[in-house]
């Protein structure tokens, strides 16, 4: 487990009164750097907890004068179909927050409608519709561009969760991989908590269905010995030495992430990398070359994805990141492209800058490996038009690092990822939203 010193630990009554769930929390408590007396809470206590500052640490970490380890909050998912009613109750108490699901025990399985009706970024972001699954929200890594610090909520009733997840999996034969926690970094509390190992072993019982864990962790030694049956894929967000140390300060360093991937690979897991987000710091070309060399010397990923830093204005980027670490030319390119970039989520770096970054990474990868599939991640369609010939894939057939149809071996897709992804829960599976 990560060394950590949370200011408080909250434990929902449904966790504290259940022997096995409580045992996991007690192991976490026992591994903290300094003792913290856990606070048991009930749903009725939540409004007061929020008013007392429970969520005070949320918000972009690069903008805060001080970032502390997150408060830990342990809870259970409710599968009682009362989500709307309970969210309305919390709102009626004057609490409006994006963390409401986590606080009330909802949000286990989320339909991501990317590139389908209702997706506001449909023309602007190549990502695939699928079910995303969740156990945690929040993170220990303190990435300066991220807002998921302050509190780490962890749901612990994986036994109950797996019952409903099995139904979801059976209803969606087209979805072969399930990305866990796109708003957390799941290994941080393991192996003490035990939830992630339990989920890995659940996937190990399935036929041709895979769990995907996307992470920046150094913490994988505990994965050895789990009955994963080859059905868990670990995807590292990888960055060069400067970015990993100066901007992602509590995540694994470049070297630690690659070593963690090597350990997982030796334990039989499929491993992948995403250079994401690529922040063009001073010396980014050399650092990309170094990182690519190291990853191929140590590991054998089955796919590598590329994605520049994006989804915010240049002013917001300058608020969050240490500007002195950025490559001056890249920063000038972003500052000079504000008008051109205002209509795309791919801001702030203009397309010629992003393309140069992708071409450089691709060339470095090809120096070491002629065959590994390389794809773009969450880029826009215009960038795919520029890069398709070089990558050898288009936006609908590339193997993606995190699914939902890219199984180990990362084959080219033969189905249509936008059209063949059909939601089939029909309101009958508890825990969906
Ligand atoms: S690892 Fe991911 S979730 Fe954690 S702080 Fe960094 S960006 Fe946020």
**Mean pLDDT value of segment 111-135:** 93
If you average pLDDT over every residue of the chain, what do you get? 97
- For the chain, the domain total comes to 1
Testing ligand 1's pocket by substitution, the residue of 185, 234, 239 carrying the most ligand atoms inside 8 A of its CB is: 185
* CA pair distance 77, 54, nearest whole angstrom: 19
Concatenate the DSSP letters of all residues of 10-43 into one string.
EEEHHHHTSHHHHHHHHHHHHHSSS----EEE-G
Please identify, by atom number, the ligand 1 atom nearest to the C-alpha of residue 147: 8
Determine whether the shortest distance from the Cβ of 193 to ligand 1 is under 6 A. no
Pairing between strand 39-41 and 270-278? Answer: unpaired
**Torsional class of 315: left (φ above 0), alpha (ψ -120 to 50), beta (otherwise):** alpha
Q: Is residue 84 part of a domain?
A: yes
pLDDT tens digits, 288-305: 999 999 999 999 999 999
Kindly give the distance from the C-alpha atom of residue 277 to the centroid of ligand 1, in angstroms, as a whole number.
Answer: 11
| Contact criterion met (CB below 8 Å) for 371 and 141 | no
| Contact criterion met (CB below 8 Å) for 256 and 295 | no
The share of the chain scoring above pLDDT 70, in percent, equals 100
CA-proximal residue: ligand 1, atom 3 (nearest)? 184
* pLDDT at 201 (0 to 100): 98
CA-proximal residue: ligand 1, atom 8 (nearest)? 146
Determine whether the shortest distance from the Cβ of 101 to ligand 1 is under 6 A. no
155 beta partners: 75
Testing ligand 1's pocket by substitution, the residue of 137, 146, 181, 246 carrying the most ligand atoms inside 8 A of its CB is: 146
Q: Is residue 3 part of a domain?
A: no
* pLDDT at 177 (0 to 100): 98
Q: Is residue 32 part of a domain?
A: yes
For residue 113, what pLDDT band results from cuts at 50, 70 and 90?
very high
pLDDT tens digits, 350-409: 999 999 999 999 999 999 999 999 999 999 999 999 999 999 999 999 999 998 999 999
Testing ligand 1's pocket by substitution, the residue of 150, 216, 377 carrying the most ligand atoms inside 8 A of its CB is: 216
* pLDDT at 431 (0 to 100): 84
- Asked if residue 412 has pLDDT above 90, the reply is yes
Determine whether the shortest distance from the Cβ of 139 to ligand 1 is under 6 A. yes
Q: Is residue 430 part of a domain?
A: no
Task: For the beta carbon of residue 108, count every other beta carbon within 10 angstroms.
Answer: 25
Q: Is residue 397 part of a domain?
A: no
73 beta partners: 10, 153
CATH number at residue 149: 3.80.30.30
**Mean pLDDT value of segment 224-242:** 98
Q: Is residue 414 part of a domain?
A: no
Q: Which H/E stretch holds residue 180? A: strand 177-180
Please identify, by atom number, the ligand 1 atom nearest to the C-alpha of residue 145: 7
Look at residue 142 and give its three-state secondary structure.
coil
Q: Is residue 424 part of a domain?
A: no
Q: Which residue has the tokens 């050898």?
A: 392
Kindly give the distance from the C-alpha atom of residue 349 to the centroid of ligand 1, in angstroms, as a whole number.
Answer: 21
| Contact criterion met (CB below 8 Å) for 398 and 376 | yes
Testing ligand 1's pocket by substitution, the residue of 141, 154, 248 carrying the most ligand atoms inside 8 A of its CB is: 141
Determine whether the shortest distance from the Cβ of 143 to ligand 1 is under 6 A. yes
pLDDT tens digits, 235-247: 999 999 999 999 9
* CA pair distance 191, 243, nearest whole angstrom: 27
- Asked if residue 433 has pLDDT above 90, the reply is no
- Asked if residue 428 has pLDDT above 90, the reply is no
* pLDDT at 43 (0 to 100): 98
**Torsional class of 138: left (φ above 0), alpha (ψ -120 to 50), beta (otherwise):** left
Query: Rounded to the nearest 10 degrees, how much is the dihedral formed by the CA atoms of 419, 421, 424, 430?
Result: -140
Q: In terms of pTM, does the model score above 0.95? A: yes
- Asked if residue 343 has pLDDT above 90, the reply is no
Backbone phi and psi for residue 74, each to the nearest 5 degrees, phi listed first = -105, 135
Look at residue 234 and give its three-state secondary structure.
strand
* CA pair distance 365, 278, nearest whole angstrom: 15
- The two three-digit tokens of residue 417, written as one number: 């990822």
pLDDT tens digits, 45-69: 999 999 999 999 999 999 999 999 9
Q: Is residue 230 part of a domain?
A: yes
Q: Domain residues for 140?
A: 9-391
Task: For the beta carbon of residue 127, count every other beta carbon within 10 angstroms.
Answer: 18
């Amino acid at each position: 487990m990560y060394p950590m010193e949370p200011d408080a630990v909250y434990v929902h009554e449904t966790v504290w009164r259940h022997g096995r769930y409580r045992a996991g929390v007690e192991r976490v408590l026992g591994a903290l750097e300094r003792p913290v007396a856990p606070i048991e809470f009930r749903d009725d206590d939540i409004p007061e907890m929020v008013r007392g500052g429970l969520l005070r640490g949320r918000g972009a970490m690069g903008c805060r004068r001080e970032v502390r380890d997150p408060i830990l909050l342990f809870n259970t998912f409710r599968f009682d179909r009362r989500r709307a009613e309970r969210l309305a109750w919390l709102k009626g108490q004057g609490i409006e927050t994006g963390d409401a699901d986590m606080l009330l025990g909802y949000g286990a399985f989320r339909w991501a409608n990317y590139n389908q009706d209702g997706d506001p970024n449909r023309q602007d972001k190549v990502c695939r519709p699928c079910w995303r699954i969740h156990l945690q929200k929040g993170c220990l890594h303190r990435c300066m561009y991220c807002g998921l610090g302050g509190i780490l909520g962890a749901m612990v009733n994986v036994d109950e969760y797996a019952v409903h997840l099995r139904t979801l999996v059976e209803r969606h034969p087209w979805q072969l991989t399930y990305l866990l926690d796109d708003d957390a970094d799941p290994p941080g509390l393991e192996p003490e908590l035990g939830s992630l190992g339990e989920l890995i072993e659940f996937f190990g019982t399935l036929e041709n269905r895979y769990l995907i864990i996307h992470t920046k962790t150094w913490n994988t030694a505990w994965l050895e010995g789990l009955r994963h049956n080859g059905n868990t894929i670990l995807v590292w967000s990888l960055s060069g030495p400067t970015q990993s140390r100066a901007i992602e300060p509590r995540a694994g360093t470049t070297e630690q992430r690659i070593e963690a991937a090597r350990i997982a690979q030796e334990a039989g897991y499929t491993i992948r990398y995403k250079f994401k987000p690529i922040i063009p710091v001073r010396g980014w070309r050399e650092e990309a070359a170094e990182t690519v060399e190291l990853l191929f010397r140590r590991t054998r990923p089955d796919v590598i994805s590329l994605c520049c830093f994006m989804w915010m204005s240049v002013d917001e980027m300058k608020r969050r990141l240490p500007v002195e670490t950025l490559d001056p030319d890249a920063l000038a390119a972003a500052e000079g492209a504000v008008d051109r970039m205002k209509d795309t989520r791919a801001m702030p770096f203009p397309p010629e800058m992003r393309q140069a970054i992708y071409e450089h990474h691709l060339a470095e990868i090809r120096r070491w490996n002629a065959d590994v599939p390389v794809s773009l991640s969450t880029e826009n369609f215009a960038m795919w038009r520029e890069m398709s010939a070089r990558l050898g894939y288009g936006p609908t057939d590339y193997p993606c690092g995190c699914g939902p149809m890219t199984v180990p071996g990362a084959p080219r897709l033969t189905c249509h990822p936008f059209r063949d992804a059909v939601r089939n829960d029909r309101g009958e599976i508890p825990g969906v939203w």
